[in-house]
Amino acid sequence: MRHASDHLIALDGVRLATRAWLPRADPLATIVLVHGFGEHVARHERLATDLARSAYAVYGYDQRGHGYSGGDRANVRRFDDLLDDLQAFVDELRHTTAGAPLVVFGHSTGGSLALRGVQEGRIAPDALVLSAPLLRFVGAPPRPVVAVLRALSRPFPRLPTLTLDPKHISRDPLEVDAYRLDPAIYHGPTKARIGALMLEHGAIALERAPAVGTPALLLHGTNDRIADVDATRHLERLLPEATLRLYHDGPHELFHDAHRERATADVLAWLQARLSPDATPAAART
C-alpha cells in the first residue's frame, strides 16, 4: 500500500487538501471517503488502510473549513459549496480511475452530504456506504426552534451554538483523548449557519430517500448520542435497496471503537457481494 497527498482547487478558488491510500495491485473499486463535521479525512487512516490492503483505492479530501483545507473555519456560505466540492472531487477521480466501480463512503454529516449529492444529481456512485449518517440530531430541536436558528444564521452566520462532547464519539478513552488533542479538528461550538444547514439538509436527505436508487450499506451504533439511529432505521425502510447493520451499544464513531473490526469486516463483505461481477441484488443484501 502507498500514500499520496495533494490538493484540489474548488470552483470558487478554495484549496482543498486531498489524500489517497492506494493498493499495490489493480484496485477492485475506487472509494471516496467523506468525513464528518469538525474532523478531517486523515482521522480515518486506519479504515482507509484496511480498505487499501483489501485492494480498494481510497481517496478523500478535507472539506472546506476543515482540517488542512482553506475556507471559513468549520462554516460555509451555502450548502451548494459542499456539493460543488464533492462533485468536483468525484469528477476528477472519474477521469483518473475510469472503468473502476465508484463507492462513496460518508460518515456522519459526510453521509447526509453523500445522499444529497446523489439526490441532486451531483454524483452517481455505484454504491453508498453511510456510517452514522447525520439525518437528525439526537434530541433535535422542534421545528419552530430550527426556523429561528435558520433566521438567525443569515445575519449572524458565526453565532456559536452547541459544542460536541468528545465523550460521545467513542467508548475508548484513548480515542477520545486522540480526538481532543488533534490540532486539525475543530473543537469550538457549531456556528449558526452550518448548524442550520446540517439540520435542514439532513431532513431533506431523509425525505427524498425513496428517489435514491443507489445500493446502500447503512452502519449505526445503537447508543449513538449524536446522530439519531432511529432516523437511519427509517432511511433503511425508505431506500429502494439498502442493508442496515446495527452495532449494540455502539457510539457515533464505530471505526474508532471496539466495533471497528466487525464494522470493517461488514463493509468488506458487503462490497465484495455488491461489486463482484456475478453479484445479484439478493446476494448483496446478505
Residues marked as catalytic: 108, 224, 252
* List of residues 6+ apart from 217 with CB closer than 8 A: 127, 128, 129, 130, 242, 243, 245, 266, 267, 270, 271, 274
What are the phi and psi torsion angles at 128 (to 5°)? -120, 140
| Helices within the chain (DSSP H only) | 45-53, 79-96, 109-119, 143-153, 173-181, 192-207, 229-238, 260-275, 281-284
- The residue type of 252 is H
User: DSSP code of 27?
Assistant: P
- The residue type of 211 is A
* 148 vs 146: CA distance, rounded Å: 5
In sequence order, the β-bridge partners of residue 4 are 20
